[in-house]
């Protein structure tokens, strides 16, 4: 049983900031013995890349940034959901529920203080410690590792969108080598805008020891051998935590000199930014960035598209996207954005009680506000959303993906061989992976044709009504009052909120 001294009280109601100790080093080594608590940490200054020196750092982040990473990392399952978008909710639940189920927070007083530190760190909660079976702990460790690796690479270090390496890797002529099932390769790859390098990334999570890290380093070495002549960085992230200890990261890395990165297959070389940085910061200048952003948000789009009308609402945010361009992390917490709250208050003051929804939306637009569509993900207290412009682009992209599936033999479930279920788990996995690769290849072949189609949809979305985009007779409710129970965040084109009452509870 959970010990009697652990209180059975409600979750604490605090803002969602935590300190995440991070150790940078040039190769795997033994697990540091409580140095995440005793070492003298440097303050993190938001370098947007690797720090100048290895060692311990203590960046602060928000639960919203962690949840953002959780919802966006992982194999792209949206090709399988084209006819059943409602199941997108289930995939989003699967990505975040282990974090809510097993992570808690506790107050920490490190031996050496760090300027700006919040004094709270994440750890396993008592349910994980005392009641969780080994297989569930393994699954939780996997999800923790993938989530914190995405957070570290993108929110902390400024990497662009990550991709699963199993779909072919960054260099088209090497795709068959990256797809070789006999090779134990790393999980992810990306391109770093500031460094102008490919990154090969391996994620490990749980009680990460030296043996696990050495296996990850070997996977990176195998990937590095395939990438060979191209300059790249190998990055091994270990998200390590044991009951009663703090969650901390080890980031082992190595730099490999070589040829500069190539523009991805099918990309317009005049729009090289499309594969790097925060894609949403480049939507006005790059059609390929728009395609990449729409692909990255397809899971959220499908969840919005299939949500019951009662679950949908729109929330006002400033129409000026530049106010939410990346400065530190990927999201802008709205409770610290005085402009947003001032503009919302002005909109409430101007709104007549009996105003029609269309008149309300016209009114807030005249004040410099836009309204993003949002829904609560059923089974969670997470709210996800996006702008009408991005929603329109995702809608057009989905139509093209459906056309690919319909004209490509073998991609539809009804085309699969009857003996599929009799295959071994490994054979089924290889077959699913093969189908995903075919789909991705078809998507990339369509890229030149997609550029003007998505650009046109994106621009038309700016003046479209939500009822037209949703193909429903009524507009979703415009929420001018707000919800004090939510902690909100936004990017140029997306929205995320978490319940302040459903954050990881403190541990006694």
**What is the per-residue pLDDT for 411?**
62
Q: Are 10 and 119 in contact (CB under 8 A)?
A: no
**Could you read off the pLDDT of 370-418 as tens digits, one per residue?**
999 999 998 888 999 999 999 999 999 999 888 888 877 666 555 555 4
Which pLDDT score, from 0 to 100, does residue 181 have?
A: 66
How far apart are the C-alpha atoms of 245 and 106, rounded to whole Å? 9
Per-residue confidence (pLDDT) for residue 10, from 0 to 100: 45
Q: What are 118-147's pLDDT values in tens digits?
A: 999 999 998 888 888 999 999 999 999 999
Where residue 94 falls among pLDDT bands split at 50, 70, 90? very high
Looking at per-residue pLDDT, the higher value among 354 and 249 belongs to: 249
Q: What percent of the chain has pLDDT over 70?
A: 89
Percent of the chain with pLDDT over 90: 46
Report the pLDDT value the prediction gives residue 460, as an integer from 0 to 100: 95
DSSP 156: I
Query: What's this model's pTM, rounded to 2 decimal places?
Result: 0.90
Alpha-carbon gap, residue 250 to 35, rounded angstroms: 11
Residue 242's region, left for phi above 0, alpha for psi from -120 to 50, else beta, is beta
Most confident of 72-86, 217-231, 395-409, 415-429: 217-231
Task: Find tokens 């979305």 and name the residue.
Answer: 461
pLDDT at 13 exceeding the cut of 50: no
pLDDT digit string, tens, across residues 242-274: 988 999 999 999 999 998 887 654 445 444 444
pLDDT given for residue 272 in this prediction: 47
What residues are paired with 255 via a beta bridge?
Answer: 233
What average pLDDT does the structure give for the chain?
85
Q: pLDDT at residue 305 above 80?
A: yes
Q: Which residues contact 330 (CB under 8 A, 6 or more apart)?
A: 65, 68, 154, 155, 278, 491
Given pLDDT bands bounded at 50, 70 and 90, which one contains residue 80? confident
Cβ atoms 104, 140 nearer than 8 A: no
Cβ contacts of 95 within 8 Å, gap of 6 or more: 70, 71, 73, 74, 143, 147
Mean pLDDT value across residues 24-48: 89
Please state, in angstroms and rounded to a whole number, the distance separating the CA atoms of residues 442 and 401.
Answer: 9
With contact defined as beta carbons under 8 Å apart, do 475 and 361 qualify?
yes
Question: Is residue 301 scored above 70 in pLDDT?
Answer: yes
Q: Which helix (H) or strand (E) holds 315?
A: strand 312-318
- Helix segments in 367-408, DSSP class H: 388-407
Helix residue ranges, H only, 103-186: 126-131, 134-150, 175-178
Q: Give the residue-averaged pLDDT of 467-480.
A: 89
Mean pLDDT of 309-315: 92
**pLDDT, mean of residues 421-427:** 71
Q: Is the pLDDT of residue 312 over 90?
A: yes
Cβ 195 vs Cβ 277: under 8 Å: no
Collapsed DSSP state (helix, strand, coil) of residue 312: strand
Least confident of 78-87, 95-104, 467-476: 78-87
Q: Tell me the mean pLDDT in the region 333-342.
A: 82
- 8 Å CB contact between 136 and 101: no
What pLDDT shows up at residue 278? 79
């Amino acid at each position: 049983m959970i010990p009697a001294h652990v209180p059975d009280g409600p979750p604490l109601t605090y803002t969602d900031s935590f300190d995440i100790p991070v150790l940078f080093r040039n190769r795997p080594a033994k697990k540091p013995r409580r140095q995440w608590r005793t070492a003298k940490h440097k303050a993190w200054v938001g370098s947007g890349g690797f720090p100048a020196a290895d060692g311990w750092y203590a960046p602060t982040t928000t639960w919203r940034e962690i949840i953002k990473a959780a919802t966006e990392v992982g194999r792209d399952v949206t090709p399988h959901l084209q006819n059943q978008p409602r199941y997108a909710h289930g995939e989003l639940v699967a990505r975040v529920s282990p974090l809510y189920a097993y992570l808690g927070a506790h107050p920490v007083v490190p031996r050496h203080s760090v300027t700006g530190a919040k004094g709270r760190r994440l750890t396993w909660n008592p349910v994980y410690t005392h009641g969780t079976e080994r297989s569930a702990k393994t699954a939780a460790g996997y999800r923790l590792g993938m989530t914190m690796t995405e957070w570290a690479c993108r929110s902390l270090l400024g990497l662009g969108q990550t991709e699963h390496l199993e779909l072919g890797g960054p260099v088209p002529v090497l795709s068959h080598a990256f797809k070789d099932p006999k090779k134990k390769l790393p999980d992810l790859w990306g391109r770093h805008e500031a460094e102008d390098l490919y990154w090969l990334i391996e994620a490990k999570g749980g009680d990460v020891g030296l043996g696990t890290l050495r296996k990850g380093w070997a996977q990176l070495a195998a990937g590095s051998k395939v990438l060979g002549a191209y300059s790249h960085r190998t990055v091994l992230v270990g998200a390590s935590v044991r009951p009663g200890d703090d969650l901390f990261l080890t980031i082992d890395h190595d730099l490999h000199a070589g040829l500069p990165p190539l523009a991805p297959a099918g990309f317009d070389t005049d729009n090289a930014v499309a594969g790097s940085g925060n894609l949403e910061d480049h939507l006005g200048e790059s059609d390929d960035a728009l395609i990449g952003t729409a692909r990255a948000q397809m899971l959220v789009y499908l969840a919005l598209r299939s949500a019951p009308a009662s679950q949908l609402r729109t929330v006002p945010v400033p129409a000026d996207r530049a106010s939410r361009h990346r400065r530190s992390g990927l999201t802008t917490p709205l409770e610290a954005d005085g402009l947003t709250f001032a503009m919302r208050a002005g909109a409430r003051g101007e709104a007549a009680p009996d105003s029609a929804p269309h008149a309300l939306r016209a009114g807030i637009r005249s004040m410099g506000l836009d309204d993003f569509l949002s829904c609560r993900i059923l089974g969670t207290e997470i709210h996800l959303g996006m702008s009408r412009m991005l929603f329109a682009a995702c809608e057009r992209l989905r139509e093209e993906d459906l056309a690919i599936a319909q004209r490509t033999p073998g991609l539809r479930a009804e085309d699969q061989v009857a003996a599929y279920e009799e295959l071994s788990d490994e054979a089924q996995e290889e077959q699913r992976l093969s189908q995903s690769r075919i789909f991705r290849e078809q998507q990339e072949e369509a890229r030149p044709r997609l550029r003007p189609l998505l650009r046109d949809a994106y621009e038309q979305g700016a003046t479209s009504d939500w009822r037209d985009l949703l193909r429903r007779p009524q507009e979703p409710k415009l929420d001018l009052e707000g919800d004090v129970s939510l902690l909100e965040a936004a990017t140029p084109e997306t929205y995320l909120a978490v319940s302040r009452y459903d954050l990881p509870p403190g541990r006694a």
